Amino acid sequence: MSPMRVQWVAFQTIVTKEIRRFMRIWQQTLLPPAITMTLYFIIFGNLIGSRIGEMGGVDYMAYIVPGLIMMSVITNAYGNVSSSFFSNKFQRSIEEMMVAPVYPVTILLGFVAGGVARGVATGVIVTMLSLYFTDLQVHHVGVMVGVVLLSAILFSLGGFINAVFATKFDDIAIVPTFIITPLTYLGGVFYSISLLPDFWQDVSKLNPILYMVNTFRYGVLGVTDINVYVAFGMLVLFILILGSYSIWLLRRGTGMRQ
């Protein structure tokens, strides 16, 4: 059997295992974002949003929906890979792959695909829920799908690196709690950065999540605070950097091989 054939089957196996994992524990993986986002829609969209009126030329509820969808995609893609890979390390079941003829890049692609699958699944659930609260008219499908996939890939890679270095379960909660969540809230999910003073607008532009949220918002509403091409360029660049670093870590066996 050719090495490529083996890698393809191994990739499918890892993806299937990853999807089976998050589907098996759907109460912990798919249900919580659905509940949280519904609360956001009710409180920020309906109750507070009705007093705000419009933002960026659209109804406030419609304005926050793309941000909330992206927020769920990002956090779930990250969380899936970080928890799954760390759990594999913790239970030492990662050794099942290490003793097999699976290339590091195959392992990485498998876990990332699993993260993307959960990110997209959650995004679809949140999108369906949002339709109960507002009408969504897609402005640019390609941009929308492209930014969702690239963001999910990028944050899956982030979750992977986090899991490689994590030595206890607390370590995989630190980055989401202290970095991703603040950056997401400050990334224009609930507001347009045009409302901020110039200085804070410039500071906000250093936040990568701003680019993802606004690009997705552009795909849905046609409204954005940033240059969409720059956003795509940044996403691809960061994916290449984090992807290469992840493969290097896997080859070295960091956190896995003694």
Partner 1 sequence: MVAALAVENLSKVYGNGFEALKGITLEVAKGDFFALLGPNGAGKSTTLGIVSGLVQKSSGSAYVMGHDVNGDAFQARRSLGVVPQEFNFNQFEKVYDIVVTQAGYFGLKPSEARANAEELLKALDLWEKRDTPSRMLSGGMKRRLMIARALVHKPDVLILDEPTAGVDIELRRSMWEFMEDLNKKGTTIILTTHYLEEAEQLCRNIAIINKGEIVQCTSKRELLSQLTTETFVFDLCESLPEGFSLEGFEFSSPADETLEVTVEKGQSINRIFTMLTEKGLEVRSMRTKSNRLEELFVNLVRESNS
CA 67, CA 70: separation in Å to the nearest integer? Answer: 5
Residue 164 DSSP code:
H
Q: Does 1 bind partner 1 (CB under 8 A)?
A: yes
Q: Residue with structure tokens 């959960």?
A: 118
The interface region with partner 1, picked from 37-45, 92-100, 134-142, 239-247 by CB under 8 A, is 92-100
Q: Does 254 bind partner 1 (CB under 8 A)?
A: no
Q: Which amino acid is at 141?
A: V
Nearer to partner 1, 1 or 206 (CB): 1
Neighbours of 127 (CB within 10 A): 19
Q: Which of 57, 101, 182, 233 binds partner 1 (CB under 8 A)?
A: 101
Nearer to partner 1, 75 or 106 (CB): 106
- Quote the least distance from Cβ 217 to partner 1, whole Å: 38
Q: Which of 88, 134, 215, 246 binds partner 1 (CB under 8 A)?
A: 88
The interface region with partner 1, picked from 90-98, 138-146, 190-198, 232-240 by CB under 8 A, is 90-98
Q: Which of 26, 50, 57, 92 binds partner 1 (CB under 8 A)?
A: 92
Q: Residue with structure tokens 């969808």?
A: 69
H or E element that contains 54:
strand 54-55
CA 9, CA 54: separation in Å to the nearest integer? Answer: 50
Q: Which of 97, 147, 213, 220 binds partner 1 (CB under 8 A)?
A: 97
- Quote the least distance from Cβ 78 to partner 1, whole Å: 21
**Token duo for residue 158:** 């982030």
Neighbours of 137 (CB within 10 A): 8
The interface region with partner 1, picked from 12-20, 29-37, 204-212, 241-249 by CB under 8 A, is 12-20
Q: Does 99 bind partner 1 (CB under 8 A)?
A: yes
Which long-range contacts does 168-174 make (Cβ < 8 Å, 24+ apart)? 169/86, 169/90, 171/86, 172/82, 172/83, 172/86
Q: Report the 3 state secondary structure along 120-137.
A: HHHHHHHHHHHHHHCCCC
Q: Which residues bind partner 1 (CB under 8 A)?
A: 1, 3, 5-10, 12-14, 16-17, 20, 24, 87-88, 91-93, 95-103, 253, 257-258
